[in-house]
Structure 1
């Protein structure tokens, strides 16, 4: 029988951008603080490792790129991680030491083909130290497309735990109705929505998802200032006209009927704690279940392609495809 309650911690912070070690140090110290207060699930923001490059242009305009912009991107690439890899092993050791689940936004290097593509990913680590899965953002938003590739349906991941199913989508993926429906169909109970969107309208989004999916929604954003950027980058022209606070946060936890369990945290770094009563998920689906009794499969159907998309397949000695998988 599944446990009915879990205490979660939602970390609202930022590392030093480009600095992988800074991010790992912050993950370790903040996770220890959260676990010390009873958290069994700890959630970090979108692209926390090695940071979300808010405000940077990477020297790109339509039809041209600059040499300095290429150097900036190479610096960002250097700070990214392999999944699995040395950093996920360190995170596994941390999770095992603390006996917690970790869900962390990372920038992931492609390690199957050219290694020239980065992905905005969400990784899940179990309390036994195992890498349980990952999700790659399906559509990077706006200028994010300059630095991150597109994920595919093979990483629409939901993790089964003793206290319920955990899964989620990253930032504006949550505006994709069909992607949400795919997650609901996987029976998600605790829906993670790491984001970089600090606008008031984001709160309407996560409350709607909670009502629609009849699940807990955990929205985790960064609190970032110009001091979150390396000293040799703080005066860069890209940031000259920006306010000192680059992202004000707004992390929050919403219950399955759309009410706040932990109200939004703004304008400061911090950790939100919430005790989730998973029995409320079943109670909430009594009168609405988007992919159950409130669906009409005779009228509407969604087909989800969960096959890994590969541009190159190596033929084995028997002429069969030998497919490689990162997990």
Structure 2
């Protein structure tokens, strides 16, 4: 069992990605890591596919119209052993801060919506993929499996992560709760899509889903979201109809306590900033005294969940896990 720091400061990102530009995205990521460390944070959480930004083009037109974006998106996605992720791991080590990164992971010709949690010494604590991309995301991204629903020991407690609408999957959530999660990373895109078309995609609905996760799981939840500016909209939207479907702003980053209270200040939806909160893991036992759906409040005689945790990959050469190289001890790293 890892020694746990019971009290610490946490930060969640609300910012605009550097759209479709991995190198510039890494530079902005490193700057935000440094800012969070200066702010006293022990962990910083980034939004879903922060690098190279959420693929809004999937929602705005025909498949044929998406083709010019697809190659750029692949080219600016990250590999687990590539120089971009290595640079972020070195920044985590340099600043002594845990980094929960959301990004598009490239595995040869396939992409995954992935999250990697990097410890303050640059080692990898957790790597996972979104089990099922949402709606049109399935035309670009592949799927994860039951091994991607995992909670790990960390110096900041039992830590786990999910992406976006995974937070409305009751069984996936329950699998996480049952692993004793204490600190949860909830990575989301911006909420500027389809504001007047689909309420379930709205900020209001997704904030509610995230808050419920905190209450049900009895965990601290770091909700990190993207922002999109008018310039970002110009990149993806070229017609009046597309501009009606994608509007500026869409940020609503926050942190919830294990009783569902929002414990950060509210930001304007277009503001780029970090939100901070003081975490005390001992508050979890108080919250769970009332509700512990996977513990004392469960009724396994009536209902229970079977969670298949082994990887399900098309080719399994021994153990099929993401491989992260050791960081070299370099000057100034």
TM-score range, shorter chain: 0.7 to 0.9
- Residue 297 of structure 2: aligned partner: 294
2:313 partner SS: coil
Q: Map Cα deviations across residues 73-122 of structure 1 (whole Å, 9 max, x no partner).
A: 01100000112332221111000000000001100012xxxx21111111
The alpha carbon displacement at 1:190 in A equals: 1.0
Alpha-carbon distance between aligned partners in 1 of 2:11 and 2:136, rounded to the nearest angstrom: 30
Give the one of 199, 202, 207 matched to 1:203.
207
Alpha-carbon distance between aligned partners in 2 of 1:90 and 1:259, rounded to the nearest angstrom: 35
| Greater Cα shift, 297-306 or 238-247 | 238-247
Paired residues, number: 309
Identify if the C-alpha distance between structure 1 residues 283 and 81 changes in structure 2 by more than 3 Å, giving closer, same or farther: same
- Residue 74 of structure 1: aligned partner: 71
- Residue 102 of structure 1: aligned partner: 99
Alpha-carbon distance between aligned partners in 2 of 1:149 and 1:46, rounded to the nearest angstrom: 15
Give the one of 11, 14, 17 matched to 2:13.
11
2:263 partner SS: strand
The alpha carbon displacement at 1:157 in A equals: 2.9
Alpha-carbon distance between aligned partners in 1 of 2:249 and 2:143, rounded to the nearest angstrom: 24
2:40 partner SS: coil
The alpha carbon displacement at 1:168 in A equals: 1.9
1:105 touches 1:194 (CA, 8 Å); kept in 2?
Answer: yes
Identify if the C-alpha distance between structure 1 residues 108 and 299 changes in structure 2 by more than 3 Å, giving closer, same or farther: same
Identify if the C-alpha distance between structure 1 residues 238 and 44 changes in structure 2 by more than 3 Å, giving closer, same or farther: farther
The alpha carbon displacement at 1:159 in A equals: 2.8
Unpaired runs of at least 5, structure 2:
192-202, 324-333
Alpha-carbon distance between aligned partners in 1 of 2:111 and 2:8, rounded to the nearest angstrom: 33
The alpha carbon displacement at 1:259 in A equals: 1.0
1:262 partner SS: coil
Give the one of 244, 248, 251 matched to 2:250.
248
2:92 touches 2:122 (CA, 8 Å); kept in 1?
Answer: yes
**Is the aligned partner of 1:326 residue 2:322?**
yes
| Greater Cα shift, 237-246 or 181-190 | 237-246
1:249 partner SS: coil
Alpha-carbon distance between aligned partners in 2 of 1:51 and 1:21, rounded to the nearest angstrom: 12
**Is the aligned partner of 1:194 residue 2:190?**
no
The alpha carbon displacement at 1:143 in A equals: 1.3
2:4 touches 2:155 (CA, 8 Å); kept in 1?
Answer: yes
2:264 partner SS: strand
Give the one of 253, 273, 277 matched to 2:276.
273
**Is the aligned partner of 1:42 residue 2:44?**
yes
1:308 partner SS: coil
| Greater Cα shift, 49-58 or 28-37 | 49-58
1:171 touches 1:196 (CA, 8 Å); kept in 2?
Answer: yes
The alpha carbon displacement at 1:22 in A equals: 1.5
| Greater Cα shift, 195-204 or 165-174 | 195-204
The alpha carbon displacement at 1:235 in A equals: 6.1
1:11 touches 1:43 (CA, 8 Å); kept in 2?
Answer: yes
Identify if the C-alpha distance between structure 1 residues 269 and 197 changes in structure 2 by more than 3 Å, giving closer, same or farther: closer
- Residue 157 of structure 1: aligned partner: 150
2:35 partner SS: helix
Superposition CA RMSD, Å: 2.1
Alpha-carbon distance between aligned partners in 2 of 1:87 and 1:238, rounded to the nearest angstrom: 36
Unpaired runs of at least 5, structure 1:
315-321
Alpha-carbon distance between aligned partners in 2 of 1:313 and 1:44, rounded to the nearest angstrom: 31
Alpha-carbon distance between aligned partners in 2 of 1:21 and 1:137, rounded to the nearest angstrom: 23
The alpha carbon displacement at 1:71 in A equals: 3.1
Alpha-carbon distance between aligned partners in 1 of 2:45 and 2:147, rounded to the nearest angstrom: 22
Q: 1 or 2, which has the higher helix percentage?
A: 2
1:15 touches 1:22 (CA, 8 Å); kept in 2?
Answer: no
The alpha carbon displacement at 1:191 in A equals: 1.3
Identify if the C-alpha distance between structure 1 residues 304 and 243 changes in structure 2 by more than 3 Å, giving closer, same or farther: closer
2:166 partner SS: helix
2:311 touches 2:320 (CA, 8 Å); kept in 1?
Answer: no
Alpha-carbon distance between aligned partners in 1 of 2:220 and 2:12, rounded to the nearest angstrom: 13
- Residue 318 of structure 1: aligned partner: none
Give the one of 141, 160, 170 matched to 2:163.
170
